[in-house]
Amino acid sequence: MYRSPITRQAPFRLAAFHKMLTGRILGSGAYLPERRLGNQELALTIDTSDEWIQARTGIAARHIAASDQNTSDLATLAAMRAVSNAGIAATDLDLIIVATTTPDQTFPSVATMVQHRLGCKPIGAFDIQAVCSGFLYAIATANNFIKAGAAKRVLVIGAEVFSRIVDWQDRGTAILFGDGAAAIVLGAEDAESGRGCLGFKLCADGQFHDLLQVDGGPGFAHGQVGKVRMQGKEVFKHAVQILSTVSDEILAQYSLQSAQVDWVIPHQANRRIIEASAEKLGIPIERVIITIAEHGNTSAASIPLALHQGLSDGRLQPGQLVMLQALGGGFTWGAGLIRI
């Protein structure tokens, strides 16, 4: 069959027109349960004090889900707000990724529950489990779907009811954790616009298993639901080193200097970890978004909660460069760079 030279060249011509895509944040939303548990109230049940908690962690309060609220409920409320803020309809979404360590059930995933409750089309929906690094893993995954042309509008949620796996008699962990959810809609953007995700670096090292873990389900190794067990001092030491190393690595990967970063949005685990990591990175604390005082460590929800805060109060402006940083059980950790 005769094929004109133009037809034969067509695939190459099309390739030349194929735009490089990246994910840009179109909108965000958050939800914190109504019940606010302040340090003073917590000190009525365990041997601690407001002064100690504030000084050692920067936490003033945490929010606790009602007994009939599960992760999917928090996730759905945050997602509805994010979709509305993005100015789209739930039917415009083509993928949902939920980062959580505290799913309602072993299965189905929280993401499928959100898909149904939002009234989305039968789009792809799945959960990611990387504890406090979960949102970073989820947004990196969402961005790769967009870059590959496999999705245009992705709902990325971080949602947890950590209060269910906290040992409320253990003052080493009970003071730290809380419940919450936050979400963003990531939309396909021409990479040449200068806005959107630059890239992510994700890491894990299972040798740190024993430093931070839950001694029970939804896996079956322990035959019980389980509670968070943490060697806090050891985690603290590793966290500062690991976070500053991964931050340096991602800056080097994109030939950037820390002075070019407008904002750092770290996982909110402990204010002292956040301060020490910022100092090592050479970023003034005024350029770090810190929301830990109001909600403590909400694991996978903490980065999107801080991101939503920064977007809502106008600190984050279009074109600004933001670095995300996280470390969680596993250990899992990583960093990401996004132009708002």
Q: Is the peptide bond before 11 cis (omega within 30 degrees of 0)?
A: no
State phi, psi for 187 to the nearest 5 degrees: -115, 150
Q: Is 197 a catalytic residue?
A: no
DSSP 287-310: GB---HHHH-B-GGGHHHHHHHHH
Continuous segment of H or E residues that includes residue 7: helix 5-17
Contact between 202 and ligand ACO per CB under 6 A: no
Instruction: Measure the CA–CA gap between 324 and 200, rounded to whole angstroms.
Output: 9
> Per the residue annotation, which of 63, 238, 267, 308 is the catalytic one?
267
57 in Cβ contact with 107 (< 8 Å): no
Among the listed residues 36, 56, 117, 315, the single contact to ligand ACO using CB under 6 A: 56
Binding span for ligand ACO by CB under 6 A among 15-23, 51-59, 115-123, 147-155? 51-59
* Closest distance of CB 284 from ligand ACO, Å: 22
Pattern 239-278, binding to ligand ACO, x per CB under 6 A? x-----------------------------xx--x-----
- Rg of the Cα atoms in the chain: 21
Count CB atoms within 10 A of the CB of residue 39.
20
Choose the binding region for ligand ACO from 79-87, 196-204, 234-242, 249-257 (rule: CB under 6 A).
234-242
Q: Output the smallest distance, CB 135 to ligand ACO, in A.
A: 12
CA dist., res. 284 & res. 141, Å (int): 30
Binding to ligand ACO by residue 167, rule CB under 6 A? Answer: no
Q: 61 vs 131, which CB is nearer to ligand ACO?
A: 131
Active site residue 267: yes
Q: Which of 132, 143, 238, 270 is catalytic?
A: 132
Contact characters 282-301, ligand ACO, x per CB under 6 A: ---------------x-x--
Scored b (16 or more CB within 10 A) or e, 126-164 reads ebbbbbbbbbbbbbbbbbebbbeeebbbbbbbbbbbbbe
Catalytic residue ranges: 132, 267, 297
- Site residues, ligand ACO (CB under 6 A): 48, 52, 56-57, 131-132, 171-172, 175, 212, 232-233, 235-236, 239, 269-270, 273, 297, 299, 328-329
